[in-house]
Amino acid sequence: MTKAQEVEKLRHLKKLGDIAYGCIACGDCRTAVRYTVGRYKVCPVLEQTPGFEPFFARGKMQIIRGLLEGKLQPSQELANAVYQCTTCGDCHATCHQSMDPNINLNISRYLDHTKIYEALRADLVDAGFGPMPRQSEVLEWCEKEHNPYMEPHEKRTAWIPEGVELSSKGDLVLFMGCTEPYRQPELIQKTIKLLLSAGVTPAVIHPEEYCCGSVALRTGARDLAEELALHNIQSLQESGAKEVMVHCAGCYRTFKKDYPEIYGKELPFKVVHVTEILERLLKEGKLSLKDDFRGKKLTYHDPCHLGRHCDFFDPPREIIKMVPGVDFVEMRRNRAAAWCCGAGGGVKSGFPELAAKIAGVRVEDAKEVGADYIVTVCPFCENNLCTTAEKEGISVLDVVDLFKI
């Protein structure tokens, strides 16, 4: 008996079937433009693909209904279309949205597009049609070494500055994530130096910190994601953590939204974003901002996992506004209507050319307002936007880069 036969068919979709039937196929998720709420188009993937139904929300919902009703069967062709989605959630933000920012239909409270796409991907994995080849390699490494970057697990703390000792137990724990320790060590070094200079010494739980599981969740490897999540929750609980501080937008979303569902109850610790801590320390006079950006225009890119998925918009903006002499400008598409960078949902690894095209559109948004710098708080966004932005003479920074060390 094959693995696909051993697993109940469509076990994840069946739990969420009623969500798919909330879609009335109106097509707003294809072309919605609502100037009064700052919405200018919806789906970044649709804009870079042939435009057929499977490449935006309405088509996916119809496919899901067809699967649930037995009119369609899982296939590799279907999987190839479904995985070309950044799971940015803009379709959810648009669905049943009115021209008035205070009026939305109640159906938007439960019609969670991203949630059902991820359930579909999980069922495609069960059926042997997902994830995409490169994503499979990444997930194998997550299982073997607890990170998606083909790096040895013991190198997760190689970034810690010489002479700095961090305990494995404490009230405040810094969840390092994978991208910064393995691919952007200078960024996490700046973060820890800032915290230490302000008298804040977080703990780290190495070697017990594993990948948060976001990569696995977004690509349908639900069993692996749950294993990683439960390990991290237990390890953080054993560390004595009362607050867990994260920087990566993907980690934040996973902790805030996915972990409570996997754990089955409220987490035994509070989850905070690093910019919340930095903003507080800045206002208390324990940190200061660089004076290098006078006369420059800075704009802020909302990471999908942080902004649209978790309604986290303000602390990064408040910090940028306090930088001496800068002109803070919003891109036309911002906050809940922000355009995706193109890297999420496994698209960066599975379809890198598509990810680059979407990044190009977001850089055009920054050019449109004359920005000299795009500031964000997501290492995935920063990586994906950098190459295109530099060609246009725009630098991409993290909020942490704005602080004096």
Rounded distance, CA 161 to CA 197, Å? 13
The residue type at 72? L
Which tokens sit at 315? 């602390």
| β partners of residue 395 | 373
Task: Tell me the pTM.
Answer: 0.94
Mean pLDDT of 81-92: 95
Residue 315 has pLDDT above 90, yes or no: yes
Please answer whether residues 171 and 243 qualify as being in contact, where contact means their C-beta atoms are separated by less than 8 angstroms: yes
**Band of pLDDT at residue 19, cut at 50, 70 and 90:** confident
Structural contact between residues 279 and 315, judged by C-beta atoms closer than 8 angstroms: yes
Give 249-281 pLDDT, tens digit per residue: 999 999 999 999 999 999 999 999 999 999 999
β 395-398/373-376 pair status: parallel
CB 383 within 8 A of CB 172: no
State the pLDDT confidence band at 7, using cuts at 50, 70 and 90.
Answer: low
Indicate if the pLDDT at residue 58 is higher than 50.
yes
| pLDDT above 90 for 306 | yes
Average pLDDT over residues 214-219: 97
Q: What is the DSSP string of 348-385?
A: HHH-HHHHHHHHHHHHHHHHHTT-SEEEES-HHHHHHH
Give me 331's structure tokens: 């891109």
CA-nearest of 219, 280, 286 to 254 is 219
Share of the chain above pLDDT 70, in %: 98
pLDDT beyond 60 at 381: yes
Which whole-number Å values give the CA distances from 117 to 80, 81, 134, 379, in the listed order? Answer: 13, 11, 19, 24
Strand, coil or helix: what is 327?
strand
pLDDT band at 4 (very low <50, low <70, confident <90, very high): very low
Question: Top-level CATH class of 288-402?
Answer: alpha beta
Q: What percent of the chain has pLDDT over 90?
A: 86
Could you write out the three-class secondary structure of 70-106?
A: CCCCCCHHHHHHHCCCCCCCHHHHHCCECCCCCCECH
Looking at domain 133-281, its CATH architecture is: 3-Layer(aba) Sandwich (3.40)
How would you list the strands of the sheet with 297-300, edge to edge? 327-328, 297-300, 373-376, 395-398
Task: List the chain domain ranges.
Answer: 3-126, 133-281, 288-402
- Tell me, what's the pLDDT at 104? 72
Total Cβ atoms within 10 A of residue 214: 27
Which parts of 248-300 are beta strand (E)?
270-273, 297-300
* pLDDT of the residue at 228: 98
Whether residue 155 contacts residue 366, with contact meaning beta carbons closer than 8 Å, is answered with: no
The 10s digit of each residue's pLDDT in 167-192 is 999 999 999 999 999 999 999 999 99
Q: Which amino acid is at 90?
A: D
Say whether pLDDT at 2 is over 60: no
Compute the average pLDDT of residues 89-107.
80
Q: What is the mean pLDDT of residues 377-400?
A: 95
* Spatial CA neighbour of 107 closest among 61, 74, 172: 61
Closest CA to 218 of 340, 301, 336: 340
Q: Are 192 and 102 in contact (CB under 8 A)?
A: no
Better-scored residue on pLDDT, 33 or 241 = 241
Residue 50 or 72, more confident: 72
pLDDT, residue 1, reads 34
Q: Do domains 133-281 and 288-402 have the same CATH topology?
A: yes
* Listed residue (144, 143, 85, 92) closest to 257, CA to CA: 92
pLDDT band at 20 (very low <50, low <70, confident <90, very high): confident
pLDDT at 53 over 80: yes
Identify the CA nearest to 179 among candidates 226, 254, 248. Answer: 248
* Per-residue pLDDT, 364: 97
Instruction: Extract the tokens encoding 311.
Output: 């309604």
Rounded Cα distance between 356 and 164, Å, is 38
- The DSSP 8-state label assigned to residue 245 in this structure reads E
What's the pLDDT band for 110 if we cut at 50, 70, 90? Answer: confident
Q: How confident is the model at residue 10 (pLDDT cuts 50, 70, 90)?
A: very high
List phi, psi (to 5°) of 245.
-100, 130
CA distance 43 to 91: 7
Give the H or E element holding residue 114. helix 113-126
Average pLDDT over residues 284-305: 97
Average pLDDT over all residues of the chain: 94
Mean pLDDT check: name the lowest of 97-101, 153-157, 300-304: 97-101
Among 8-22, 94-108, 150-164, 341-355, which stretch is predicted with the lowest mean pLDDT?
A: 94-108
